[in-house]
Structure 1
């Protein structure tokens, strides 16, 4: 037996003699690195966008975006072009109050009840089917009762909404007040909303756009918002659509999360945007008079990618303290006066840092009694790397963002 083969044989025998999995030494994975502990790369003169050049850069990005989304562009996706031309003919889903009264023939009057001395006017979701004939003459039938359909025979188009997918219910959201000139009374408006709905646009039997919406309204939609909400849609075609967007929102007792993304394709290029937020904390008395949310940590990131103009930002907040979000606290003269914790934030353009902010949020030893003066800001201005505090950064940045005319 060759020495190398003998060594392998002995090794196998030794390993097998160690027994089953319970006798093996577990592999300990290192904990993931918290991005808040990683100091972002500082801006570099000559590589980073100079503060003075930010307005011109924003203008260039806007011009590029306008060119890519121009419906007359030769590079626009042909399926999307068809949809744009369709809506250019004013084919649209009508859900305003005047149309509802036409469709539902008196729903507005039937839904009126008196509460605490005010008329409550419930704006219902439209139902039934409205058809525009070959000569443009509209007709209406009251079915379906759980959705709305609009048909235009001139363009062979069908727009359909199902407000109660799988038998889901609807809810009413307070939508302000209006003055009734006929009665001289103030009215409270409530808008009906679906909790599970879909919508689609079909041209000549082909679906060219679709939307899906789901919401868990919770027990106090009008005061604290929904517990969860998702929205997704596409336009052009179902497979590799030229336009797609997705949104998801969840608020639990210990966490608030929000994710949104959108992608737009031409025949040769792509524009994308994404936003993500995750806030950890505690919610108390969500549906009561003493509602409050106390955050302890937050992670936020976003990207806008236009060809030639990619912007990314990250904000990490850790060990937040002395910060409560409720109506009373937010009405204070300075609700962030005693805030504690740390921030790690960065803004990048085309891979190079534009601005960074790192440090404690609490007020420092100066006399201005303003938090943030311990945070170190860095950016490039007039070809020089600037390192300053919050006040200094605001003095430099505000004239750029809001120039005087």
Structure 2
């Protein structure tokens, strides 16, 4: 008993002699702040790009990008230049889009309207009982020999290979990676001169495929594609899709592209990124769209999608020309994408929610928009008049509602000649 008491006493003394500093409680991670709740900083006179100079700046960026992608440029990546030369693209510069000199915002509006109608059902395809022609994926091996001849083999039956013996180029596509199935996608109609009638055309499409280009045994380009077709591919599209590709070399590729898309019961997701590099400069673009909402009867005639929020972020980074776009929609109400809702007159007039948007150039705001989407106290019964737009025009900071901002920006994008 005395021995046990002595051990307890010694133990108590040892504990008492130890550092009594308590271990600090690990701090909890604070909840992330929703960027939609913070009003974007206003453009600054003398610092921000003025809206009347936007078109000229866009043209300057396009010219710089065209110079970077010119195959004749001494700064083009040598691996990429060699690949373009083998593919017969090594002499002409990449053409610039003719639309830069006449940007028409009505075109964007038309695209948006068509997109909405497609979601609402007007763009959905129904298959009637009629003759169907199916175009299969190319298979086998086609070889162009050194002496100018041509050979064909039926193998592989699940892919396609094309070989040019003179240049050492081999192009290969594997349509059924891992034994994946292919599916048929409606691709329009074709007139049959024998019967005098139109027939529906379906194209065979892979669900898991890869592609590659090799030169003398060295892989100089690669592509991966995967798709989850879902139950109604021909009416509502796939439920998920990914695409990634590179050119020049796989490690530190001078040209790279990644795309991803998914439609779940609660979200519509789309993201994309592209990178391009010369020996001296780099350019990159990225975009991410996340629309949260409820989908009902996606594969049926009563399809509806009711969004509650949306996030759109994008960046275009060309040397000395970095543009960023952020658009946040919150607490959306009275908005439904369906054939019935979108066919109603003034379908968007009762929309509710808030908008937070900002377009910046080289770190400085160009145009910002912030406020409720619902119609205000005026008599026009049009939504958006409570949203405050801010931009710099002719040396002055302008604060305007949607109608005034739309008119100003439309006139600047399409100046009268």
Q: Secondary structure at the match of 2:56?
A: helix
Please list the CA deviations of residues 162-184 of structure 1 after superposition, one character each: whole Å capped at 9, or x if unmatched.
00000000111111112112210
1:402 aligns with 2:409: no
Tell me by how many angstroms 1:64 deviates: 0.5
Give, in whole Å, the separation in 1 of the partners of 2:143 and 2:242: 31
Please list the CA deviations of residues 132-153 of structure 1 after superposition, one character each: whole Å capped at 9, or x if unmatched.
1113332221111100000011
For 1:112, the equivalent position in structure 2 comes to none
For 1:292, the equivalent position in structure 2 comes to 304
Give, in whole Å, the separation in 1 of the partners of 2:279 and 2:191: 50
Give, in whole Å, the separation in 1 of the partners of 2:411 and 2:18: 72
Q: Secondary structure at the match of 1:335?
A: coil
Give, in whole Å, the separation in 2 of the partners of 1:89 and 1:314: 36
1:262 aligns with 2:274: yes
For 2:334, the equivalent position in structure 1 comes to 322
Give, in whole Å, the separation in 2 of the partners of 1:245 and 1:189: 30
Tell me by how many angstroms 1:11 deviates: 8.3
For 2:80, the equivalent position in structure 1 comes to 80
For 2:177, the equivalent position in structure 1 comes to 165
1:129 to 138, 141, 149: 141
Q: Secondary structure at the match of 1:13?
A: coil
Instruction: Name structure 1 gaps, 5 residues minimum.
Output: 1-8, 17-23, 91-114
Tell me by how many angstroms 1:116 deviates: 4.8
Aligned residues: 366
1:12 aligns with 2:19: yes
For 1:184, the equivalent position in structure 2 comes to 196
For 2:225, the equivalent position in structure 1 comes to 213
For 2:31, the equivalent position in structure 1 comes to 31
Tell me by how many angstroms 1:237 deviates: 0.5
For 1:138, the equivalent position in structure 2 comes to 150
Give, in whole Å, the separation in 2 of the partners of 1:319 and 1:117: 44
Give, in whole Å, the separation in 1 of the partners of 2:325 and 2:136: 41
Please list the CA deviations of residues 83-141 of structure 1 after superposition, one character each: whole Å capped at 9, or x if unmatched.
11011179xxxxxxxxxxxxxxxxxxxxxxxx855210111111011111113332221
Give, in whole Å, the separation in 2 of the partners of 1:325 and 1:203: 49
Contact 1:313 1:346 in 2 (8 A): yes
Please list the CA deviations of residues 252-292 of structure 1 after superposition, one character each: whole Å capped at 9, or x if unmatched.
10011111000001001100000001111110011111011
Contact 1:323 1:339 in 2 (8 A): yes
Please list the CA deviations of residues 283-313 of structure 1 after superposition, one character each: whole Å capped at 9, or x if unmatched.
0011111011110011110000000100000
Tell me by how many angstroms 1:216 deviates: 0.4
Give, in whole Å, the separation in 2 of the partners of 1:373 and 1:89: 50
RCO higher in 1 or 2 (8 Å CA, sep ≥ 6)?
Answer: 2
Contact 1:118 1:186 in 2 (8 A): no
Change in CA separation of 1:56 and 1:151 when aligned onto 2, cut-off 3 Å: same
TM-score (norm: length of structure 2) = 0.85
Q: Secondary structure at the match of 1:71?
A: coil
1:62 aligns with 2:62: yes
For 2:239, the equivalent position in structure 1 comes to 227
Instruction: Name structure 2 gaps, 5 residues minimum.
Output: 1-15, 91-126
For 1:238, the equivalent position in structure 2 comes to 250
For 1:147, the equivalent position in structure 2 comes to 159
Please list the CA deviations of residues 63-92 of structure 1 after superposition, one character each: whole Å capped at 9, or x if unmatched.
1110111110000000000111011179xx
Please list the CA deviations of residues 16-41 of structure 1 after superposition, one character each: whole Å capped at 9, or x if unmatched.
8xxxxxxx856333211100011111
Tell me by how many angstroms 1:364 deviates: 1.0
Change in CA separation of 1:89 and 1:156 when aligned onto 2, cut-off 3 Å: farther
Give, in whole Å, the separation in 1 of the partners of 2:146 and 2:202: 36
TM-score (norm: length of structure 1) = 0.87
1:279 aligns with 2:286: no
Q: Which moved more, 1:195-204 or 1:131-140?
A: 131-140
Q: Secondary structure at the match of 1:334?
A: coil
